[in-house]
């Protein structure tokens, strides 16, 4: 379709004069309004005033400009079926609409008054856009500044025309644009009347290999306007991602993104079963892996620093003895050095991903449940206090870093959650964790059992000497609970296994009994005042 007439009416004037000049090169008549007309005329571009088409003046402070029988007819009529009727009515076709809407969003973000918000609700613009989009078979519609260049490329390559396929693409963008605009206004107006509503927009949907199980279909969408999402991950190698991979990637990234040193998380079923931070990336990986070597099979591993070859050689992917090769599903880091990538590519299915963890956006935590939606803030506060509540002393200031490390781990583990952490040398590491148990005592048992397995990996002596070695190693560890202890049984079990230090939120009606048990058993206890349930 050749373009002979264009209607340009934009709030955002970016790039509009350049676009208009390109149109003029092909002798396109430009119809325009108000501020847009002034901008184009100041650039020396000849413009037809909208009133010459509508046969009516702009009125009511600009509220009436483009809405008219002549304008909407010029956009909507079928160029083949309605040609004779249009001729009788003196309707000349408009082949292109360039329109972006009143800046309602900017006014809303600046907390403009209710009256200002109302004045920034566009009426004529959405009408033109929708009319042009409906009749895309014959009419082009541009709503985004970033599409101007692609339009120019198409327009010039076809000598002043556009293809049906391109107009169809513009049509989909136009209807999304007006839908987003109306949704934003509706939500803002609800807020003005003290109603809570939420309208979300997700785009760029793509099909995943399958859902949580192979018989479930799954799809992956990007939130409109969101930047640096998991949708933007740069997959350097390996097969496509599954639904579960993405959930586990999120768990792995969240476990290391806030840690201040070189860190590594080993995640299985969304829970970090291994987590460490320190000064040497290879050592940190080895320590994280040691947290649960069995569960690490088929895991997702995340780093918060540039990944090096000497680190990934730990996986022994080229070992002739295949039993020594470590199988993992995904490895993700902000940057992956070239030789590290080349080494990882020895595993043909391993997904190798670059993703900038430092720019991870924080939106609301949303969960869709059977026609309802839950929304909450992100859990991004570790503690309110570090209050020693027992007779047994514990230097919270000196141990603040390891406590923060442990709390970072606990808030990324499914509740009921227990972690056991310690600092050894320059490394902080997760020794054991219990996750997702309905009974907190079982989580404590699991964490203690895993911590014992962790320590056993370092033991080189005779079997009869292990218990003494274990007691010496565990005494400096800290047991952390995501929620308060409802009974003293967790303390009794932990003390029996050699734990000397416990961190928990506090707040139980039985806190007094729990503290008395700690005092009796020589265990220190710190209250944080913040719970970290993760369902």
Catalytic residue among 13, 21, 24, 134: 134
Q: Check if 134 is active-site.
A: yes
pTM score of the predicted model? 0.83
pLDDT tens digits, 153-181: 999 999 999 999 999 999 999 999 999 99
pLDDT tens digits, 260-299: 999 999 999 999 999 999 999 999 999 999 999 999 999 9
For the chain, what is the mean pLDDT?
Answer: 93
Predicted local distance difference test score (pLDDT) of residue 260: 93
- Answer for the pair 19, 148: CB distance below 8 angstroms, yes or no: yes
Q: What is the mean pLDDT of residues 136-140?
A: 96
Indicate the pLDDT class of residue 54, thresholds 50, 70 and 90: confident
pLDDT at 34 over 90: no
Least confident segment among 77-86, 358-367, 467-476, 503-512: 358-367
Tokens describing residue 480: 């952390």
pLDDT at 517 over 80: yes
Predicted local distance difference test score (pLDDT) of residue 64: 79
pLDDT tens digits, 312-357: 999 999 999 999 999 999 999 999 999 999 999 999 999 999 999 8
Indicate the pLDDT class of residue 60, thresholds 50, 70 and 90: confident
51/66 Cα distance (integer angstroms)? 9
pLDDT at 62 over 80: no
| Contacts of the segment 428-431: beta carbons below 8 A, 24+ positions apart | 428/261, 428/276, 428/277, 428/278, 428/401, 428/402, 429/275, 429/276, 429/277, 429/287, 429/288, 429/290, 429/291, 430/272, 430/273, 430/274, 430/275, 430/276, 430/288, 430/291, 430/406, 431/291, 431/455, 431/477
Q: What is the mean pLDDT of residues 304-319?
A: 96
Indicate the pLDDT class of residue 1, thresholds 50, 70 and 90: confident
pLDDT tens digits, 229-262: 999 999 999 998 999 999 999 999 999 999 999 9
* Residue 416: cis peptide before it, omega within 30 degrees of 0: yes
Least confident segment among 367-371, 407-411, 447-451: 367-371
Buried b (16+ CB within 10 A) or exposed e, 81-114: eeeeebeeeebebbbbbbbbbbebbebbeeebee
Q: Domains along the chain?
A: 5-192 (3.40.50.1380), 206-221+229-359 (3.40.140.20), 380-527 (3.40.140.20)
| Bridging pattern class, strands 387-388 and 524-527 | antiparallel
Predicted local distance difference test score (pLDDT) of residue 6: 96
Indicate the pLDDT class of residue 199, thresholds 50, 70 and 90: confident
pLDDT tens digits, 4-30: 999 999 999 999 999 999 999 999 999
pLDDT at 61 over 80: no
């Amino acid at each position: 379709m050749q373009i002979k007439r264009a209607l340009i009416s934009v709030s955002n004037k970016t790039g509009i004069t350049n676009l208009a000049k390109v149109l003029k090169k092909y002798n396109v008549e430009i119809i325009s309004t108000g501020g847009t007309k002034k901008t184009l005329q100041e650039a020396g571009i000849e413009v037809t005033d909208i009133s010459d088409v509508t046969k009516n003046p702009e009125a009511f402070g600009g509220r009436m400009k483009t809405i008219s029988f002549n304008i909407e007819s010029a956009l909507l009529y079928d160029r083949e079926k309605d040609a004779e009727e249009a001729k009788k009515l003196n309707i000349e076709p408009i082949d292109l609409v360039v329109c972006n809407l009143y800046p309602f969003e900017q006014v809303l973000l600046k907390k403009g008054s209710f009256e200002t918000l109302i004045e920034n609700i566009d009426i004529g613009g959405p009408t033109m856009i929708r009319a042009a989009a409906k009749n895309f078979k014959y009419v082009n519609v541009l709503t985004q500044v970033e599409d101007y260049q692609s339009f120019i490329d198409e327009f010039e390559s076809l000598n002043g025309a556009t293809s049906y396929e391109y107009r169809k693409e513009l049509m989909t963008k136009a209807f999304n644009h007006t839908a987003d605009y109306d949704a934003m206004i509706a939500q803002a107006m609800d807020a003005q009347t003290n109603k809570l509503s939420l309208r979300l927009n997700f785009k760029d949907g793509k099909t995943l290999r399958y859902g949580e199980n192979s018989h479930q279909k799954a799809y992956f969408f990007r939130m409109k306007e969101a930047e640096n999402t998991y949708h933007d991950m740069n997959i350097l190698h390996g097969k496509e991602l599954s639904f579960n991979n993405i959930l586990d990637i999120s768990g792995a990234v969240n476990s290391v993104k806030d840690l201040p040193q070189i860190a590594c998380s080993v995640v299985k079923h969304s829970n970090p079963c291994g987590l460490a931070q320190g000064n040497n990336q290879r050592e940190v990986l080895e320590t994280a892996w040691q947290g649960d070597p069995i569960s690490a099979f088929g895991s997702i591993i995340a780093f918060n620093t540039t990944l090096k070859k000497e680190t990934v050689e730990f996986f022994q992917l080229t070992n002739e003895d295949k039993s020594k090769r470590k199988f993992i599903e995904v490895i993700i880091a902000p940057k992956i050095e070239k030789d590290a990538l080349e080494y990882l590519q020895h595993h043909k299915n391993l997904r190798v991903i670059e993703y900038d963890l430092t720019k991870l956006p924080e939106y609301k935590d949303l969960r869709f449940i059977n026609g309802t939606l839950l929304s909450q803030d992100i859990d991004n506060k570790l503690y309110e206090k570090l209050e020693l509540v027992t007779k047994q002393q514990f230097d919270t200031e000196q141990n603040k870093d390891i406590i923060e490390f442990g709390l970072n781990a606990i808030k990324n583990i499914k509740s009921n959650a227990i972690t056991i952490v310690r600092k050894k040398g320059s490394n902080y590491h997760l020794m054991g964790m219990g996750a997702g148990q309905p009974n907190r005592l079982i989580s404590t048992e699991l964490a203690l059992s895993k911590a014992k397995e962790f320590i056993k990996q370092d033991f080189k002596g005779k079997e009869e000497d292990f218990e003494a070695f274990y007691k010496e190693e565990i005494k400096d560890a800290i047991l952390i609970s995501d929620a308060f202890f409802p009974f003293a049984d967790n303390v009794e079990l932990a003390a029996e296994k050699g734990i000397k230090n416990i961190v928990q939120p506090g707040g139980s009606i039985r806190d007094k009994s729990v503290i008395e048990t700690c005092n009796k058993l020589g265990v220190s206890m710190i209250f944080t005042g913040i719970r970290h349930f993760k369902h």
